[in-house]
């Protein structure tokens, strides 16, 4: 990764972190932010953060739901052409590794990413790269396999270093500490 591209990745990760700060601190979830970018034009297509939309919504889920709304389709139809014309190369910046399991029964974010990458009827497959700030801690679901699942499916997964402590502090706000006091 060159310095120029590294700076761009850090800037998008900071944008995702700013979104994560908008999520309400709760003891039952991580505060996560997500930014979806058209790589060719360096344009933000959609953003999201944990609990931005009604229900037990994750950041990536909100991001994709908002993108679907822009295109007038259901989220599960985002990869379907000609209904939706998404760029061939997408970058998803998320402060935390996408989840591989949802205790709520909602579709895991990893499956949402895989669905988005599965562009039908295109001469070339859609390329999605996931940039993540931290691995999901084992707080709610142990041994998240998000990264492994994405890489096995051929989706590049890149760790963006340098913001781990800040991301985790924001993500865990509202959680109980060892002394029994909630983090602020």
Query: Which residues are designated catalytic?
Result: 60
Residues 6+ apart with CB under 8 A from 169: 183
Q: How many CA atoms lie within 13 A of 74 on its CB side?
A: 3
Is there a contact between 146 and 107 (Cβ–Cβ < 8 Å)? no
Cα angle 172-37-142, degrees, rounded to a multiple of 5:
30
Cα angle 99-21-3, degrees, rounded to a multiple of 5:
75
């Amino acid at each position: 990764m060159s310095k120029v591209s590294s700076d761009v990745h850090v800037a998008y990760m900071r944008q995702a972190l700013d979104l994560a700060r908008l999520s309400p601190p709760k003891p039952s979830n991580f505060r996560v932010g997500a930014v979806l970018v058209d790589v060719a034009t360096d344009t933000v297509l959609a953003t999201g953060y944990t609990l931005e939309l009604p229900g037990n919504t994750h950041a990536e889920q909100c991001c994709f739901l908002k993108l679907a709304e822009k295109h007038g389709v259901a989220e599960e139809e985002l990869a379907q052409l000609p209904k939706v014309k998404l760029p061939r190369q997408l970058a998803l910046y998320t402060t935390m590794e996408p989840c591989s399991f949802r205790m709520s029964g909602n579709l895991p974010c990893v499956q949402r990413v895989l669905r988005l990458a599965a562009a039908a009827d295109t001469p070339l497959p859609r390329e999605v790269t996931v940039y993540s700030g931290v691995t999901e801690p084992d707080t709610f679901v142990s041994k998240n396999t998000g990264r492994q699942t994405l890489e096995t499916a051929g989706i590049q997964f890149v760790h963006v270093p340098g913001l781990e402590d800040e991301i985790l502090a924001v993500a865990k706000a509202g959680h109980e500490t060892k002394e029994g006091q909630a983090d602020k």
